[in-house]
């Protein structure tokens, strides 16, 4: 097992907080892309083979905007024709570089980021509320069945 002290000897491969990490083998899973942003709990870490670390130039591309783009259907549509056949689909650095987008200025990127974050937050809240309601209905069903089976609830009149 490697010691965390050894990470500093490989600065070229060191992952930092906020780095965008993109899986290059089987990049598309389900309906999305294997892409994440490194957090405090992810460091210290080193890049592995077949994983890309993307560090946009903050003067022209906001990190969060790049993350949204890489997780978008637009990027999936760019990759889909590349991944054909029955073998594990591999993404190359060149194929990542061939992905072109119209890039708004930083101020407009920030507006888009705020909009997407707000919308996603609302969707996540609605999803959590709906899941809680589903969980409560399942609990109610379980309790109802238990009450009928144990005789705590008489359902003969309903039949």
pLDDT of residue 86: 61
Beta bridge pairs of residue 53: 21
pLDDT (tens digit, 9 = 90+) per residue, 96-105?
Answer: 888 888 899 9
Q: How many residues does the chain have?
A: 159
pLDDT of residue 28: 61
pLDDT of residue 108: 97
Strand order in the sheet with 20-23: 35-37, 20-23, 51-54
In this structure, is the dihedral angle defined by the CA atoms of residues 3, 12, 100 and 113, taken in order, positive or negative? positive
Task: Give me the numbers of helices (H) and strands (E) for the chain, helices first please.
Answer: 4, 7
The answer to whether the predicted template modeling score (pTM) of the entire model surpasses 0.75 is no
- Within the chain, which residues score under 70 in pLDDT? 1-4, 7, 26-32, 81-89, 159
pLDDT of residue 116: 95
pLDDT of residue 4: 66
């Amino acid at each position: 097992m490697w010691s965390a002290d050894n990470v500093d000897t490989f600065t070229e491969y060191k992952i930092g907080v906020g780095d965008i990490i993109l899986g290059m083998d089987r990049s598309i899973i389900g309906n999305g892309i294997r892409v994440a942003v490194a957090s405090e709990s992810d460091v210290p870490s080193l890049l592995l083979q077949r994983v890309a670390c993307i560090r946009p130039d903050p003067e022209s591309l906001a990190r969060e905007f790049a993350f949204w783009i890489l997780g978008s259907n637009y990027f999936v549509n760019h990759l889909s024709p590349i991944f054909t056949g029955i073998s594990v689909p591999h993404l190359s650095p060149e194929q990542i570089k061939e992905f072109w987008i119209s890039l708004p200025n930083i101020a407009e990127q920030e507006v888009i980021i705020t909009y997407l974050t707000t919308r996603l937050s609302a969707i996540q809240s609605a999803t959590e509320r709906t899941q809680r309601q589903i969980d409560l209905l399942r609990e109610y069903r379980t309790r109802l069945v238990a009450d009928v089976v144990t005789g705590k609830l008489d359902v003969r009149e309903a039949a």
